[in-house]
Each structure stands twice: as C-alpha cells, then as structure tokens.
Chains A and B, each alone.
Chain A
Amino acid sequence: MNNKTIIEIKNLHKNYQVGEETVKALRGVDLTISKGEFVAIMGTSGSGKSTLLNILGCLDLPSSGDYFLDGGNVKSLNRNQLATIRNQKLGFVFQSYNLLPRTSALENVELPLLYNPLVSNTERREKAEQALIAVGLKDRMKHLSNQMSGGQQQRVAIARSMVNDPVVIFADEATGNLDTRTSFEIMALFQQLNNNGMTVCFVTHEPDIAEFTKRNVVFRDGLIIKDERISNRQNAITALAQLKDETYAFGN
C-alpha cells in the first residue's frame, strides 16, 4: 500500500473565547494520517474530536500549530483559499445528510462540481452518475431527496463527498441518525470505498461502529489518549449477515 502522508498535524492548539473564559478545545495534538487509512476519531462530547474535524476539514483554523494537508500548510490560507481546498481536496458526510430539499439525487451530487469552474457540464454529469453508481443508487438518480429513506439519503451524501475525487473523506457521525442495519450498510460502503484506496476519517462515539475502521484515535479533554491499529477489523458485510441471522433467530 502507498504510504504517502495526507494529513500531518503538529502541536495543534485551538482555543475558544466564551465570555471571559478561554476554552482550550485542543491542547497540543499530533496526528499523521497516510493514504488508504480508515481512521475512527472517538471520544465523548467535549473531548475535542469535533473541533479537530472542523480544523482537518478546513472549516476552521487552529490557534497555533501546523496542519499540512496533501503537502501544503493550511495555516496561512484565507477564507476563499480554504473554500477552494474544501472544494477540490476534501469530501464531507454529515450526520443529517444535508441534502438540498426537493432536489434530485443527481443534482445533489453535482453540487460540489458546480463550484469548480474547471469542470465542464458534461464532465460534471458523468462524474455524478459514476459516483451514484458506486454507492448503489443507479436506479434512483432522478429521485428527489425527500422521497428517499435515511440510508439512501446518506448514500447520496457519500456520492456527493467523493464526486470531486478528494484526497480524504471526513464523516461526522455519519451513522448517527440511522438504525443498526442501515448503519452497517453505510459502513460496508465506506469499507468498500476504503478498499478501493479512499482515505476515510470517521468521527463517531459508537465503539461498535469504530470496529469497522482500521485505526482508532481516542480523544479526551483535547488530547489524544489512545491511538491504535485495529488488529481484528470487523467486516461490515459479515456483520450485516449476522444481523440478519439474529433477526431470524428472534423471529423464531
């Protein structure tokens, strides 16, 4: 596997000013993520995992420390430059899908490419169709977002996150609104994407979801307290099959 470093953060700090009090959300974090990794960032609420994801996702800037994304230092970029980085190098999947309402799956997936002036109309349409095929929604391209189930909506969101060929996909509690079965299906999709070489960075607080990843990074009070490779990684498809057996057993 290619071990090219995609994300490298050094001694990262993030402080928030809440009234007169300074909240130290991140207190010197070092983390390196290489191409092809599937990382779960875990921790309780307030541990700093969301803050880290915002910074990794170029939605926020650190108070101090360095962040190298795909070789470039993000620290000195302005709002517009950050927007361009997000548009061309990153993909996002959110807990609540964040699809445009009453808009077709295809148009939702096309959205990131609309903001890239280098992509032509035909290219945009082709890439969006390919992404939807990849997430298994070939037959639902014209369906409106509000006519879809939660799992389908999250698939559309995943297709949207990968349509611009990002270097890394960030998922923020991407299974948080889904039932177990659908969560496993979504994890199976992420595993499949990861097997095809996509780097995925997955924020969750559910340990059983984290078991499907290759590496778990645990946060507490703004610091990494655990960073370990998963030796016995769960296969989501197998887990899904077991889930069916259990349901069957309950049925009896």
Chain B
Amino acid sequence: MKLINLFKIATAAIIRNKMRSFLTMLGIVIGVAAVIAMLAIGQGSNASIRSTISSMGTNLISVKPESQNRGGVHQGQSTSQKLKVSDVDYLKSKSLLINAISPEVDGSGQVIYGANNWPTQIYSGNEEYSFIKKYEVETGRIYTSAEIKKAAKVCLVGQTVIENVFAEGEDPIGKSIRFNNIPFKVIGTLKEKGNNTFGQDQDDMILAPYTTVMKRINRQTYLRAIVISAKSEDQIVATSAEITKLLRTAHKLKESADDDFEIRTQEELISNFGSISEMMLVLLGSIAGISLIVGGIGIMNIMYVSVTERTREIGLRMAIGGKGKDILRQFLLEATLLSVFGGIIGIVLGITASNIVEDALGWPVLITTNSILLSFLFCTFIGVFFGWYPARKAAKMEPIEALRHE
C-alpha cells in the first residue's frame, strides 16, 4: 500500500473517533508539555546561576589562607595570618601565567555622611583589583598607584551606599564620608552589579586602596585573600597549579606539609552549583519523563481497545486484500500520529507554560532546541514502541475469525 494512502486511512481513523483520540493524546500532551516546561525551568536557573557567577569574573582565582587549627579548634580563615603582601609581590615577580594580581582586604563598619549612617562593607585592593573583580566605575575615577603607596583616604562608593547616605540627586564625588570614624574622600562611584548568586547585594560596599584599609581600619599586616586573574579561562587550571607551586616555595613548606592556603576558582563554584542544578534538572526531567511514559501506556491501552473493537474492520481489510504488513503499518501509523500530534500540541503548551512561569513568577526559563527535539523524538519513539504490540496483534489475526467476531 502506498504511504500516502496509509496516511489517509490512519488520519481518517483518528478523526472518526475525535473524543477518544483527544483523550489518548492528552497523556502525551501533558507529558511533553511537562518535559518542556521542567527542562526550561531547570536550564533557566542553571544558566542564570552560571551568568551571575561569571559576572564575578570567570578568570578569577582567589587564594585564601587555610583555616587555622589550633589545639583541635578551627579558627576560621580570617584569623589566619598566612597571606602577606610579600606573597603578592613574589607571585607577581615569578609567575608567567598571571594576568593581574591584587591583595584583598575587607572590613565592615558604619558609613556616616551628614546626619545619615549605613552599615556596610569595605573592600580593598590595588589598582588592578577592580579589573579582576569586574567592578566598573560609573562616575569619577579609580584610585592611583600613588594613592595606594601613601595609603590615601580615598574611596569609591557602591549604589546602595549612595542611596542610603546621600540625598537624592546629590553628587557624591568630592564629598567626605566617614567609615568607622576615618574620613574618606569620595573619588568615584561604582556601576550597579545587582545581587550575586547567594543573594548578597554587590552594590552595598565601599572600595578603597588596600593599604588604607590595612593600616587605618583593620590595623593588620595580613591579607584576607589574594585575587588573581588568569589570562584566559582555559589557563585557570595551569595558573592555579603554578600559584600553588610558587606559594609553597614562598611559604617554605616541606614536601610532606599540607598547603597552608586554599585556591578557589570560579569554575569550582560553577561546577558545584552546576551539579546541584543538574540534579534538579534530572529530577524534574525524570518526573516529566515518567508522565510521558504513562501517556504512552495510555496510547497502548487505547490501541488495544481499538484493535479489539475493530476486529471486523481488520477482517474485512484482510478479506479485500490487505496484507498483514498493511494492517500493522496502519495501526502503527495511527499510534505514531496520535503521539506526534500530541507531541506538537504538548510542545506549544510547554512553551506557553514556560513563558507564563517566567512572566508570573519571575523565574528564569530557557527553552532550548535540544529539549524540544528531545521530547519530540521521545514521544515519536513512544508512539512506535507502544503502538507496535497492538498493531502486531491486529496484523496476526486470521481473516475468517476476525470477520466472524461479534
């Protein structure tokens, strides 16, 4: 039998039983829509996590002191005094792979300007710090090497700080603010960065030279961290290895001794979060996949009923010359068409549902061609797979018995 005729027969049979066809399809429709929507939500959150992490700088490598262990009590990283400015200088002079390097010191305290005050965080580094951490200057300028050298009391302020201590429309540049009672001259403002992955406001901060923070605020000689920018993302691993080697030399660690510092890269962060969100994705995807399989079983069930109900039709088709393979193809095509139609409706519904989720709940969604292709192929496969058995049953009937069937 010609394929086009087969197609006509199968479509006619589906249309002849509109209600039943629709209900059969419903299982596949819901399954495919669920797969599309679940994958869209999962991949959307994955992508948004990745983009927030890389907004912190994908080439970023940070070196932190290993947490201290004194008499069995972990002291936390901030009390460690292992990282010094001399380490930064040493790495700078010896490393071949580092693109930019800066010490990082931070502190917290109260900003006061006029009658307003606001609790915030002060971050500090050298002149390359803003480049490494991707802070951008909105107005004014970044501090200079000379200002770092003399530990000048200058700073740049983040948008949240500006909102809270300055009057609306007031230009902060040139104003004098106090941080923990130390007066700072505002020389620039920072571009808005928004919240990071952990929900922390990245604009609630002040940026100052590290020398100033070390000498005048923290009165400490050690660093909270060293931040480094690798030349490219591919070189992160090589750069990390080189830093480990150099720092071990600088800290005169014996072969058997553990590192007294810890290297973290954005890649690690991404892969940590990635594995969590991938787990979510697999979970959501498999729940949706199960509903698709249940839909397939629905198709099989209906095809079985249909084959039994249409036994006489099958007998007639055989009597007038239909071969077993014609009957097989007819029912197989019918099942496949049901699931493909269902799949198409499901895809449309899934995309609509994803968009509604995005608009109504504000969740990030990402619909990929792959997820559409995957669910479409999967439901076609389900149609063929679950249609096969009933179709085979139909094809194997004996025409005389089928014709006699009541």
The residue from B16, B320, B324, B403 contacting A79, defined by CB atoms under 8 A apart: B324
The residue from B315, B316, B321, B400 contacting A88, defined by CB atoms under 8 A apart: B321
Q: Is the CB of B318 within 8 A of A114?
A: no
Q: Is the CB of B317 within 8 A of A111?
A: yes
Residues from 92 to 131 in A contacting B, C-beta threshold 8 Å: 92, 94, 96, 98, 100-103, 107, 111-112, 114-117
Which of the 9-residue segments A17-25, A52-60, A238-246 touches chain B? A52-60
Is B5 positioned at the interface, with any CB of A under 8 Å from its CB? yes
Tally of contact residues, B, Cβ under 8 A: 23
Q: Is the CB of B319 within 8 A of A59?
A: yes
Cβ contacts under 8 Å, A59 to chain B: 319, 399-400, 403
Cβ contacts under 8 Å, B12 to chain A: 103, 107
**A203 CA to B318 CA, complexed, in Å:** 20
**A86 CA to B323 CA, complexed, in Å:** 10
Q: A146 to nearest B CB, angstroms?
A: 11
B contacts with A: majority SS: helix
**A23 CA to B312 CA, complexed, in Å:** 26
Chain A CB within 10 Å, residue with most, of B316, B319, B399: B319
Cβ contacts under 8 Å, B321 to chain A: 83-84, 86-88, 112, 115-116, 164
Is B165 positioned at the interface, with any CB of A under 8 Å from its CB? no
Is B1 positioned at the interface, with any CB of A under 8 Å from its CB? yes
Is B128 positioned at the interface, with any CB of A under 8 Å from its CB? no
**A57 CA to B313 CA, complexed, in Å:** 17
Cβ contacts under 8 Å, B319 to chain A: 57, 59, 86, 92
Q: A186 to nearest B CB, angstroms?
A: 19
Chain A CB within 10 Å, residue with most, of B315, B320, B323, B399: B320
Is B326 positioned at the interface, with any CB of A under 8 Å from its CB? yes
Q: Is the CB of A98 within 8 A of B322?
A: no
Q: Is the CB of A115 within 8 A of B312?
A: no
Cβ contacts under 8 Å, A112 to chain B: 320-321
Tally of contact residues, A, Cβ under 8 A: 28
Interface string of B261-277 (1 = CB under 8 A from A): 00000000000000000
Is B2 positioned at the interface, with any CB of A under 8 Å from its CB? yes
Q: Is the CB of B403 within 8 A of A111?
A: no
Q: Is the CB of B1 within 8 A of A94?
A: no
Residues from 278 to 330 in B contacting A, C-beta threshold 8 Å: 312-313, 315-326
Interface string of B1-13 (1 = CB under 8 A from A): 1100100010010
Cβ contacts under 8 Å, A60 to chain B: 400
- In chain A, what residue has the closest Cβ to B17? A102
Residues from 216 to 242 in B contacting A, C-beta threshold 8 Å: none
**A160 CA to B16 CA, complexed, in Å:** 21
Q: Is the CB of B400 within 8 A of A160?
A: no
Residues from 21 to 75 in A contacting B, C-beta threshold 8 Å: 54, 57, 59-60
**A160 CA to B322 CA, complexed, in Å:** 14
**A115 CA to B5 CA, complexed, in Å:** 9
Is A80 positioned at the interface, with any CB of B under 8 Å from its CB? yes
Q: Is the CB of B320 within 8 A of A160?
A: yes
**A37 CA to B323 CA, complexed, in Å:** 29
Cβ contacts under 8 Å, A83 to chain B: 318, 321-324
Q: B120 to nearest A CB, angstroms?
A: 76
Residues from 355 to 397 in B contacting A, C-beta threshold 8 Å: none
- In chain B, what residue has the closest Cβ to A83? B323
Chain B CB within 10 Å, residue with most, of A54, A79, A115: A115
Residues of A within 8 A of B (CB): 54, 57, 59-60, 79-80, 83-84, 86-88, 92, 94, 96, 98, 100-103, 107, 111-112, 114-117, 160, 164
Given A79-B324, A84-B323, A98-B312, 16 more pairs with CB closer than 8 A: A59-B319, A60-B400, A83-B321, A86-B319, A87-B320, A87-B321, A94-B316, A98-B315, A100-B316, A103-B12, A111-B320, A112-B320, A115-B322, A116-B321, A117-B2, A164-B321
A-B contact pairs, 9 of them (CB 8 A): A80-B323, A83-B321, A87-B322, A88-B321, A96-B312, A98-B313, A100-B316, A111-B320, A116-B321
